[in-house]
Chains A and B, each alone.
Chain A
Amino acid sequence: MLPRDSLRRGLREVLARRLAAPLRRFRGSSRFSEAAGREHFWALKDVTFNVGEGDVVGIVGRNGAGKSTLLKVISRITDPTEGRVVLRARMASLLEVGTGFHPDLTGRENIFLNGAILGMRKAEIVSKFDEIVAFAELEKFLDTPVKHYSSGMYVRLGFAVAAHLNPEILVVDEVLSVGDMAFQKKCLGKMNEVSRVGRTVLFVSHNMAAVENLCRRGIVLDGGTLVFEGTSKDAVLDYLNLISGAHDSAGHIVDLSADSDRRFALGPLLKQLEFYTDGNRPLVESLLIGARLQVRVHFELPDLTADFNVGLGFNNAYGQRVFTADSQFEPNRPAGARVGPQVFICDIPSLTLTPGEYSLRVWLDIKNEEADLINDAVRIRVIESDYYGTGKAPWNGTFVLMHHWYAEQTVKTGGVRLK
C-alpha cells in the first residue's frame, strides 16, 4: 500500500544531481521521474479479511510478503494508500520489544514509560507493577539503568510490560524470535493465556509450532496479496508448500535414473521416487513433525522373482541411521513373483523425527543381494509443528514420541493429569 517513490530525496541530493547533469532537464522527461525510476511498489494489494471477536489469527508468509506492513497499517503507524481498516475495539500493538525504552532510565522508570507508550494508564501500570517485575525476573536490577542490562534482560523487561497489556485486540509482530529459549517458552505460555480469555489476537511469526498452537485461524500472505485463509493448521501447510515451491508441480518427483552416487550389481533398477503427505498432497522438501510421509518407489525387476525387497533409510545430519523402512518388514506384503516396472508405496502414517534435515538412502535387494542402492537420493526436512498440542516442540533428541505425564494418584487429591 506504500509506493516507495514516496522517499523524497534531500535537497542536497537533488542539487548534486542537477549539477552532475545540468542538461538532463532539457531532454524532455520530467526531472524527477527519470531519476527516481518511478516504480510503484505495492507492499500490500487487495487484502481483505475479517477477524471476529475472540479470534486468534496467525499471519504467515515469506520475508517481504507484506506481514509487517499489514500490521503497521492496522496499528495506524502507516497510512494505507487505498482501502480501509475498521477496528471495533481498543487495540494495542507490539511490533517490537521495549519500544521507547531509554537506556539512561532505570528498569522501574522504563516500565512506566513503555507501559504508557503502549497505551496503559498510569493507574493500570501501578496496579500491575509487581506482576510485571516478577514476570521479568528482574527484581534486583529495577533501579539500574537499562543500558547496563544484558540483551536478554532487556527483552524480558520489554515483554513483561507488553504481556500485561489489556487491550481487546492485540497485534503482535515477530517479537519472540529474540530472547533465550526458556523465556520464549514463557512468553508463548503467557500469550496462550491471553488468547484463552477471549481476546482478539493477530500474530505474525515464523515459528510454525507457535502459530499452529496459539492460533485458531491463519492467513498466508505472499507478494502482498492474501493467498490463503483458513484454519491455522491448513495455513501452516499452505505456507510450507509455498516456501518449498510446491506450486511448481513436479518438485515432489525425484528422478533417480541419472543419480550417480549409487552402487549397483544388476544395473540402475531404481527409477523414481514420489513424495506425498497428508491428504495425498505432493510433498516438497519440508514436512511437519508427525505428518504422514508416503514414498512411491518406482523400480524395475529384470527377472521374474518373488524374493526381493525395497527399502528406505533415514540418515540424520551426522550420518547416523535413525530409521529404516524395508518392505521385508511388512507382514502383508504383496506375494507372488513379479517382473518389469513396479511401484511400491511406503506409507509412514506419522513421521516423528525431530526437526532437521534427513538424507534418504534407497535400495533394492534381489535374492538377498544388493541389486541397486542410492546414497543420499533426496533430502527431507522435518520442521517444527505443534505435535504435542502445547506449542512447544522438541529440538533435541532423535524422535518425537507421543507420551504422557501424570502425577501419582494420592488418596486426598485424586489423580491429576499434567499437560
Chain B
Amino acid sequence: MPSSFEVTIRPRRGWQPIDIKEILVYRELLAFLVWRDIKIRYRQTLLGGLWAVLQPLIAMLIFTFIFNRLAGVKSDGPPYPLFAFAGLAPWTFFSTAVSQSSNSLVSNQQLVSKVYFPRVFIPLGAVGALLLDLGLTLGFLVLLIFHYRWPISPNLLWLPVFILAAVLAASGVGLTLSAFNVSFRDVKYAVPFLIQMGIFVTPVIYPIRYIPGHWKILMGLNPMAGVVLGFRYALLGSPSPWPVMGLSLIVSVVLFIFGLLIFRRMERRFADII
C-alpha cells in the first residue's frame, strides 16, 4: 500500500467534480453491486428471467390489438407486432431502470449511512443489472425477427450506440431522481406516473411520421425517442430521421452528465437526511 496516500476530508459546498480516479479504484464494487442486483432480481420467483420477456411481450400483444387492430395505427414498415416490440424493448429497459434506480438509495439506506464508497454506484448498479434483462428481451426480438422473416439490416452496427444512449438516459434520470428521493419521497409517487405518461411522448406505439413535420425535432428532446427510433433503425431497418436521433443522443449524454453533477452536489447530505 502506498505511503504517499493522503485524503483530506473537508466540508464540500456547491458543485463537485466527478472523481473518476476514485470510481476506478472502486470499480470492482460496481461489478459486485450489479451482480447482487441480478442475483436478487428474480430470486424466489416462479418464472425468473422470463419476466424480462413477458412484460414487453404482453404489452406488445395488447398494443397490437388495441392500437393496430382497433385504432388503426400503422407501423413504419415491418409488421406491427415486430414494430411495437422493437420499441418496447428499450422502453421497458428505460422505465424499469428509472424506477429501480430512483428508489435505489432509499432502499439501500444501510449502505448510505454505514459505509463509504462512491454513492453513484448505487443507482448505476441498479441500471447496470437491467442490461441482462435488455439482453434477454433483445434475444426474444431476434426470434421474432426470424418468425416474421424480416431481413436483418446492416444498420445493426449502430445498435451498441443506442444501447449506450439508453443506459446514459436511464442513468441520468435515475441519478437525479434517486438524489431527490433522499429528501423528497414524493419521487416514489411521481415516478410511476411519469413513466406511464412517458410512453405517449415517445414513439413506441406510433411511428414518428405521425408527428407533423416541424414538431418532429421537438421529439428529439426526449432522449428515449431517439433510442426507440434507433433500435428500429438498427434492428428492423426502419426509416428514422437522423436529426431527431442525433438530438436525442446529445440529450442523453447531457442528461447523464447533469445527473452525475446534481448527484455529486446533493450527495454530501445523504447520510444525514436519508
B-binding residues in A (CB < 8 A): 2, 6-8, 10-12, 72-90, 93, 95-96, 99-100, 102, 104-105, 109, 112-113, 116-119, 121-122, 168
By beta carbon, the residue of chain B nearest A95 is B114
In the complex, the answer to whether A116 meets B32 with C-beta atoms within 8 Å is yes
With the chains together, A100 CA to B29 CA distance in Å? 12
Report, nearest first, the 4 A-B pairs whose CB atoms are least far apart.
A116-B32, A85-B9, A84-B10, A79-B268
B157 in the interface (beta carbon within 8 A): no
Chain B, interface size category, equals: 35 or more
In the complex, the answer to whether A113 meets B10 with C-beta atoms within 8 Å is no
B36 in the interface (beta carbon within 8 A): yes
How far does the Cβ of B32 sit from chain A's closest Cβ, in whole Å?
4
By beta carbon, the residue of chain A nearest B111 is A100
By beta carbon, the residue of chain B nearest A98 is B110
Contacts A/B (CB < 8 Å), 6 sampled? A6-B273, A75-B116, A83-B11, A85-B8, A99-B115, A117-B111
How far does the Cβ of A397 sit from chain B's closest Cβ, in whole Å?
38
In the complex, the answer to whether B5 meets A89 with C-beta atoms within 8 Å is yes
Chain B residues, CB < 8 A from A74: 9
With the chains together, A168 CA to B114 CA distance in Å? 19
Mask: chain B, 260-274; 1 = CB below 8 Å from A; 0 = not:
000000001101110
Chain B residues, CB < 8 A from A76: 7, 9, 116
Chain A residues, CB < 8 A from B68: none
With the chains together, A82 CA to B249 CA distance in Å? 41
Chain A residues, CB < 8 A from B8: 84-87
Kindly identify, within residues 1 to 28 of chain B, every residue whose CB is under 8 Å from any CB belonging to chain A: 1, 3, 5-12, 28
With the chains together, A72 CA to B274 CA distance in Å? 14
In the complex, the answer to whether B186 meets A113 with C-beta atoms within 8 Å is no
Chain A residues, CB < 8 A from B9: 73-74, 76, 79-80, 84-87
In the complex, the answer to whether B115 meets A78 with C-beta atoms within 8 Å is no
How far does the Cβ of A374 sit from chain B's closest Cβ, in whole Å?
51
In the complex, the answer to whether B39 meets A88 with C-beta atoms within 8 Å is no
Which of B43, B44, B114, B184 contacts A77, CB < 8 Å? B114
In the complex, the answer to whether B115 meets A95 with C-beta atoms within 8 Å is yes
Chain A residues, CB < 8 A from B269: 6, 79
A-binding residues in B (CB < 8 A): 1, 3, 5-12, 28-29, 32, 36, 39-40, 43-44, 108, 110-117, 183-186, 268-269, 271-273
In the complex, the answer to whether B268 meets A105 with C-beta atoms within 8 Å is no
With the chains together, A337 CA to B6 CA distance in Å? 73
With the chains together, A170 CA to B10 CA distance in Å? 20
With the chains together, A118 CA to B271 CA distance in Å? 17
Chain B residues, CB < 8 A from A100: 108, 110-111, 115
In the complex, the answer to whether B40 meets A105 with C-beta atoms within 8 Å is yes
With the chains together, A7 CA to B1 CA distance in Å? 39
In the complex, the answer to whether A105 meets B36 with C-beta atoms within 8 Å is yes
Chain A residues, CB < 8 A from B273: 6-8
Which of B11, B111, B115, B186 contacts A80, CB < 8 Å? B11
Q: A10-B184, A102-B40 are in contact. Are A77 and B116 (CB under 8 A)?
A: yes
In the complex, the answer to whether B110 meets A99 with C-beta atoms within 8 Å is yes
By beta carbon, the residue of chain B nearest A100 is B111
Of A81, A105, A121, the most chain B CB neighbours within 10 A belong to: A105
With the chains together, A10 CA to B117 CA distance in Å? 27
Which of B5, B11, B43, B183 contacts A88, CB < 8 Å? B5
Q: A77-B271, A93-B116, A117-B115 are in contact. Are A87 and B36 (CB under 8 A)?
A: no
Known: A75-B115, A81-B11, A121-B28. 12 other contacts (CB 8 A): A74-B9, A77-B112, A77-B115, A79-B9, A80-B11, A89-B3, A93-B115, A95-B114, A99-B110, A99-B115, A113-B32, A119-B117
In the complex, the answer to whether A79 meets B6 with C-beta atoms within 8 Å is no
